[in-house]
């Protein structure tokens, strides 16, 4: 460990060639007390403009950067946010992460991202580990039980994304709305037997979709078969092709685009025409849903907006104890993976029926 002589005092060069320059160095070099330097950065209005600019100049020249650990120690705020997701590699999350990160940075916060691999135990571990080094945690589509979340909540400020827990601040996408729209779209096209290709157990979103789809089909006197639960990846979507065919359903709503795409390709591979024989609808509108052929009809989730809203809620939480719950709108995007079903009305009628159902 190299020792470096500097300004008459010994300093440890933690990283070779790098000497940490502190507030004290700046103070000495500009002939003021350290508290003045501190204030120059954290409460500029309290220091004489002249002094301030002098301090800033020497700080700049010396290459001073405030030590956030020290600051955190005394203020109790780290200016870090934890963001926990089930799977970074799932294309649903990156836009959310990106938005949250950019938004946080604009408020001088940094984001720690952690990946739970869809495992509730890892999830709990991560929250605990992160709790002390962040000012709050964004819990995305958690797989933990409500109880566990309640418990964790006592250790660290929390905002939950895509799960509704009473008394807990949350940002949810109203996926029920999107699912209803999707099912109505399929019914309007003349499909009377649908499949819901379910997502992972423990997912609030999954329950919401299932409930919405069930209610809407039932109300229309149509049939809904639920296949699942499944891991929300393409493989399971592809693997479900067989089962889907066996149900004789003509339309499928999948828990997410990944599964929808997997299913779509598997169906095509075994010679099933999409949307000629089977219509497929996804959820999320990930970047690839517009790239596959046929382009995927899907429910667009405002993930970026959700990320931003969650960051805002978390940062506000410090000020007052108000725990809001924000619901974001989701919308059906009709592309080419859905087409007329066996009971398709005449084109002229189509609009009329749609109008009626929507009222």
Partner DNA sequence: CTCCATTCGGCAAACGTTTGCAACAGATTA
Partner DNA sequence: TAATCTGTTGCAAACGTTTGCCGAATGGAG
Residues that bind DNA (CB under 7 A): 20, 22-24, 31-36, 38-39, 41-43, 46-52, 64-67, 70-71, 73-75
Answer yes or no: are the C-beta atoms of 99 and 85 closer than 8 Å: no
Q: Which residues pair with 226 in a beta bridge?
A: 196
Angle at 101 between CA 100 and CA 103, to 5 degrees: 65
Assess contact for 255 and 206: CB atoms under 8 A: yes
C-beta of 192: minimal distance to a second copy in Å?
30
47: partner contacted, choices DNA, a second copy, none (Cβ within 5-8 A by kind): DNA
Residue 322 binding result from DNA, a second copy, none, given CB thresholds of 5 to 8 Å by partner type = none
DSSP string, 66-109: --HHHHHHHHS---EEEEEES-TTSTTHHHHHHHHHHHHHHTT-
Residue partners of 17: CB distance under 8 A and separation at least 6: none
State in angstroms the smallest separation of the CB of 73 from DNA: 4
Q: Give the one entry of DNA, a second copy, none that residue 49 binds, where binding means its C-beta sits below a cut-off of 5 to 8 angstroms depending on kind.
A: DNA
What, of a second copy, DNA, none, does residue 24 touch, CB below 5 to 8 Å by kind? DNA
Q: Which is nearer to DNA, 39 or 180 (CB)?
A: 39
Burial 63-72 (b: 16+ CB within 10 A, else e): ebeeeeeebb
Q: How far is the CB of 154 from a second copy (least distance, A)?
A: 6
Out of DNA, a second copy, none, which partner does residue 88 contact, by CB within 5 to 8 A per kind? a second copy
Q: How far is the CB of 6 from DNA (least distance, A)?
A: 11
Least distance from a second copy to the Cβ atom of residue 285, Å: 13
42 binds, among DNA, a second copy, none (CB under 5 to 8 A by kind): DNA
Query: Is the Cα dihedral 29, 34, 40, 46 positive or negative?
Result: negative
Residue 150: strand, helix, or coil: helix
Helices (H) then strands (E): counts for the chain: 14, 14
- The residues binding a second copy (CB under 8 A) are 12, 14-18, 20, 63, 65-70, 72-73, 76, 78, 80, 87-89, 91, 94-95, 97-98, 101-102, 105, 110-115, 117, 128-133, 154-157, 234, 261-262, 265, 268, 287-288, 291-293, 321
To DNA, the closest distance from the beta carbon of 321 in angstroms equals: 20
Q: Nearer Cβ to a second copy, position 57 or 70?
A: 70
Measure CA of the first residue to CA of the last residue in the chain; give whole Å: 75
Shortest Cβ 130–a second copy spacing (Å): 7
List C-alpha distances in Å: 218 to 64, 210, 212, 348: 66, 12, 10, 25
Contact 317, 304 (CB under 8 A): no
**Cβ closer to a second copy: 83 or 194?**
83
Q: Which is nearer to DNA, 52 or 193 (CB)?
A: 52
């Amino acid at each position: 460990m190299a020792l470096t002589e500097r300004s008459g005092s010994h300093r440890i060069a933690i990283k070779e060639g790098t000497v940490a320059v502190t507030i004290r160095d700046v103070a000495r070099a500009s002939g003021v007390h350290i508290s003045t330097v501190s204030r120059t950065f954290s409460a500029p209005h309290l220091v004489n403009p002249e002094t301030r600019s002098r301090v800033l100049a020497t700080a700049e020249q010396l290459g001073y950067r405030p030590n956030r650990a020290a600051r955190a120690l005394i203020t109790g705020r780290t200016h870090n946010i934890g963001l926990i997701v089930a799977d970074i590699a799932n294309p649903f999350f990156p836009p959310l992460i990106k938005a949250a990160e950019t938004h946080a940075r604009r408020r001088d916060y940094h984001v720690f991202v952690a990946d739970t691999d869809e495992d509730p135990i890892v999830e709990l571990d991560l929250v605990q580990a992160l709790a002390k080094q962040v000012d709050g945690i964004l819990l995305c589509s958690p797989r933990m039980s409500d109880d566990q979340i309640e418990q964790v909540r006592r250790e660290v400020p929390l905002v939950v994304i895509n799960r509704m827990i009473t008394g807990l601040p949350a940002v949810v996408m109203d996926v029920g709305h999107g699912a209803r729209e999707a099912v109505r779209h399929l019914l309007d096209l003349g499909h009377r037997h649908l499949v819901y290709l379910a997502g992972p157990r423990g997912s609030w979103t999954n329950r919401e979709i299932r409930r919405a789809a069930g209610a809407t089909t039932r109300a229309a006197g149509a049939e809904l078969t639920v296949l699942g639960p499944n891991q929300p990846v393409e493989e399971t979507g592809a693997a479900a092709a067989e089962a889907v065919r066996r149900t004789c359903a003509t339309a499928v709503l999948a828990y997410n685009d990944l599964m929808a795409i997997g299913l779509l390709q598997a169906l095509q591979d075994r010679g099933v025409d999409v949307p000629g024989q089977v219509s497929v609808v996804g959820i999320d509108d990930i970047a690839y849903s517009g790239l596959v052929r046929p382009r995927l009809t899907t429910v667009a989730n405002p993930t970026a907006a959700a990320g931003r809203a969650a960051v805002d809620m978390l940062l506000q939480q410090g000020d007052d104890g108000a725990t809001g719950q924000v619901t974001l709108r989701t919308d059906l995007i009709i592309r080419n993976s859905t087409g007329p079903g066996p009971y398709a009305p005449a084109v002229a009628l189509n609009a009329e029926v749609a109008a009626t159902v929507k009222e």
